[in-house]
A and B are shown apart, each in its own frame.
Chain A
Amino acid sequence: IQMTQSPPSLSASVGDRVTITCRTSQAISVSLAWYQQKPGKAPKLLLYAASALGSGVPSRFSGSGSGTDFTLTISSLQPEDSATYYCLHYYLTPNSFGQGTKLEIK
């Protein structure tokens, strides 16, 4: 299954609403997770089953979609959200990741 994540990078201001998209080459139901990775750190789970919030993840993060099209939304951007975000399908193994979206705070 091929993953197409966009945009590759974006820059936004504190308080902005930000959306990242992930498209899969075949339908995967809701078997999609989102991860946040900060420089020099391991990734951290944000969302699973397309829209379920991971443990301890702030409610400004949300996810939607099913089938082949998915979105990650940050409702009100905070300075600590500066990171790279990845989608991952787990519909079957092998899993595969999106290319990543580097989010910069203006």
Chain B
Amino acid sequence: QVQLRQSGAEVKKPGASVTVSCKASGYTFSDSSIHWVRQAPGEGLEWMAWSNPSGATVFAQKFEGRVSVTTDASINTAYLDVSRLTSDDTAIYFCARDTRGFIDFWGQGTLVTVSS
């Protein structure tokens, strides 16, 4: 069955960077794009970024220059890097699959806590 298995929870200090990984299985990874979405505690969903198998990327304007997304097709894994963390980046980060132009399946989420 389709799975998107994300890396475990992280605790980071302000100013640090974090990498979240997302390993896909149960479908052809190279036939899909990956979205990244985050959810701050008690808040709604916030779309962050998108990447496709060709390496094209799009970012929400607020994350431009501070967020990068990469994929390693050899191990069916996508990565989200967020730098210069602040307390406002405390959130659950989700990866999500896109096979038909929209998000159709989600990872379980990774909690990133930014605290001094």
Contacts and interface: CB of A to CB of B under 8 A. Distances in A.
Q: Do A and B bind each other?
A: yes
Interface of A: 31, 33, 35, 37, 42-45, 48, 54, 84, 86, 88, 90, 93-100
B107 A94 contact: no
Contact of B58 (A43, A88, A93): A93
B45 A97 contact: yes
Contacts of A43: 45, 94, 106
Contacts of A99: 44
A37 B105 CA distance: 12
14 contacts: A33-B102, A42-B94, A42-B107, A43-B45, A48-B100, A84-B44, A86-B45, A88-B102, A93-B58, A94-B50, A95-B35, A95-B50, A97-B46, A99-B44
A72 to B, nearest CB: 15
A88 B47 contact: yes
B53 to A, nearest CB: 15
B104 interface: yes
Nearest to B102: A90
Given A33-B102, A33-B103, A44-B106, A94 B60 contact: yes
B103 to A, nearest CB: 7
